[in-house]
């Protein structure tokens, strides 16, 4: 075969490649249009019956030299690419997805000065649960000394056993509010049910939806209607995608001020209560414009590793951390093993002061 012949055959291939390229993109555009029609009709984009009909028609018309198996494998790849394109378009439309590199939700608290997500490292702290005025007052005094502005005022506790401490209810909120006012702090408190919104609104500055309620879509929609910002914790076994869709419920129902909390996920590991998904924090920072806080207490279930986790949290590019602090942890009514002693909280604040925060940059 001469060199000329080879060149000639290669240029034929080049032309065919371009034709296939044009046809593939034309096919993708039409498939997208089908997706839009199906969305309007309320039907799903993926139709296995239609896919199987197309493959049969291709087999019947296949004159070779490719075998039917090869043709089917190639076309299945084309179908998969169209599906992926649809999914990407659907995701890009969700409100909590970051659209541009500098898109950030910054949440301003009622004093008009305290912000979450503005580049500062926010500390949310306080005991696991409100137990008494003295307990809240002693804790808040220590937190205020370190400039903490957001106080946990938890009065409804989602305990595993119904025989464990369930929280003080409204009297606990009165205590939390009084103490927060004394130290110029804001209260965040976990809500269990939409029926509590009106009562809790008299006391709380930030609503809090716990891990167990992350997929309670009715509560999430109700949180879309409140004027306060909402902290949303990742579910015990929720994927990041499920977590973001939960946040989407709140935002799409009218409340853009959502703060995400990574609190560890269930894995086979038993040395820690949960496994802190720090990789997930980095992914959320890239994928969403919402602020993200790392809960170093429930993810660990133990206080002895609080400082390294706090340092990792800050270095990860998160917008802050959440840590439980109690004046006398061994006698705490809940989470006694993980709450920090006050002196440990002070050491933690000093340790994170030495960590420098950098905006995470995706690898090129």
Using CB under 6 A as the criterion, which residues of the chain lie in contact with ligand PEP when the complex forms?
Answer: 154, 158, 190, 210-212, 233, 263, 298
32 versus 344: smaller Cβ distance to ligand PEP: 344
Residue least distant from ligand PEP (Cβ): 210
The Cβ of residue 300 has, within 10 Å, a number of other Cβ atoms equal to: 23
Structural tokens at position 305: 């590793």
CA 229/CA 290 separation, integer angstroms: 12
Supply the minimum distance, in Å, between the C-beta of residue 271 and Mn ion. 19
d(CA 160, CA 168): 17
Residue 154 touches which member of ligand PEP, Mn ion, none, C-beta under 5-8 Å by kind: ligand PEP
x-or-dash string of contact with Mn ion, 125-154, rule CB under 5 A: ---x--------------------------
SS (H, E, C) 88-121: HHHHHCCCCECCCCCCCCCEECCCCCCEECCCCC
Residue 24 token pair: 């593939």
Count the residues of the shown chain that bind Mn ion, applying the rule CB under 5 A.
Answer: 2
Q: Which is nearer to ligand PEP, 35 or 153 (CB)?
A: 153
Q: Binding of Mn ion at residue 190 (CB under 5 A)? A: no
Q: Which stretch binds Mn ion (CB under 5 A): 21-29, 62-70, 99-107, 333-341?
A: 333-341
- Provide the minimum distance between the beta carbon of 125 and Mn ion in the complex, in angstroms, as a whole number: 12
Binding partner at 211 among Mn ion, ligand PEP, none, C-beta below 5 to 8 Å by kind:
ligand PEP
Span interacting with Mn ion, options 67-75, 202-210, 314-322, 331-339, rule CB under 5 A: 331-339
Backbone dihedral angles phi then psi of residue 166, each to the nearest 5 degrees: -100, -5
**Which among Mn ion, ligand PEP, none contacts residue 214 (Cβ within 5 to 8 A by kind)?**
none
Taking the least distance from each CB to Mn ion, the nearer of 117 and 329 is 329
Phi, psi of 328 (to 5 degrees): -145, 75
Min dist. Cβ of residue 58 to ligand PEP (A): 51
Of 335, 345, 348, 349, which one interacts with Mn ion (CB under 5 A)? 335
What is the 3 state secondary structure string of 204-223? CCEEEECHHHCCCHHHHHHH
What is the C-alpha separation between 59 and 51, in angstroms, rounded?
Answer: 13
C-beta of 300: minimal distance to ligand PEP in Å?
A: 12
Separation in Å, CA 56 to CA 27, 53, 74, 161: 18, 5, 14, 56
**Cα(355)–Cα(308) distance, rounded to whole angstroms?**
11
Give which of 263, 259, 241 is closest to 251, Cα–Cα: 259
Taking the complex as a whole, the smallest distance from the CB of residue 334 to Mn ion amounts, in Å, to 6
Q: Structure tokens of 148?
A: 């903490």
CB nearer ligand PEP, residue 86 or residue 190 = 190
Binding of Mn ion by 185 (CB under 5 A): no
Nearer Cβ to ligand PEP (35/348): 348
Which stretches of the chain bind Mn ion, using CB under 5 A?
128, 335
């Amino acid at each position: 075969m001469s060199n000329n012949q080879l060149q000639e055959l290669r240029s034929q291939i080049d032309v065919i490649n371009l034709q296939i390229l044009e046809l593939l993109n034309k096919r993708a555009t039409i498939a997208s249009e089908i997706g839009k029609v199906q969305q309007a009709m309320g039907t799903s984009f993926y139709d296995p019956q239609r896919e199987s009909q197309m493959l049969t028609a291709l087999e019947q018309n296949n004159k070779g030299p490719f075998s039917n198996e090869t043709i089917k494998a190639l076309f299945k790849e084309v179908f998969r690419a169209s599906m992926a394109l649809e999914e990407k378009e659907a995701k890009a439309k969700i409100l909590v997805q970051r659209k541009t590199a500098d898109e950030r939700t910054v949440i301003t608290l009622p004093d008009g000065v305290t912000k979450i997500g503005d580049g500062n490292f926010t500390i949310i702290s306080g005991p696991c649960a409100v137990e008494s005025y003295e307990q809240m007052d002693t804790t808040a005094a220590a937190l205020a000394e370190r400039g903490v502005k957001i106080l946990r005022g938890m009065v409804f506790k989602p305990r595993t056993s119904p025989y464990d401490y369930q929280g003080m209810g409204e009297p606990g909120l009165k205590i939390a509010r009084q103490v927060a006012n004394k130290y110029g702090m804001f209260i965040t408190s976990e809500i269990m049910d939409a029926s509590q919104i009106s009562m809790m609104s008299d006391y709380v500055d930030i609503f809090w939806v716990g891990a167990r309620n992350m997929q309670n879509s009715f509560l999430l929609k109700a949180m879309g209607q409140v004027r306060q910002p909402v902290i949303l914790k990742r579910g015990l076994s929720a994927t990041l995608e499920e977590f973001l869709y939960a946040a989407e419920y709140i935002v799409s129902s009218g409340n853009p001020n959502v703060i995400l909390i990574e609190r560890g996920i269930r894995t086979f590991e038993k040395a820690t209560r949960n496994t802190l998904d720090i990789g997930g924090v980095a992914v959320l920072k890239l994928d969403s414009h919402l602020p993200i806080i790392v809960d170093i207490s429930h993810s660990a279930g133990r206080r002895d590793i609080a400082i390294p986790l706090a340092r990792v949290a800050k270095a990860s590019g998160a917008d802050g951390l959440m840590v439980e602090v109690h004046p006398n942890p061994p006698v705490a009514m809940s989470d006694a093993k993980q709450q920090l002693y006050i002196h440990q909280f002070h050491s933690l604040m000093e340790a994170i002061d030495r960590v420098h925060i950098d905006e995470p940059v995706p690898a090129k």
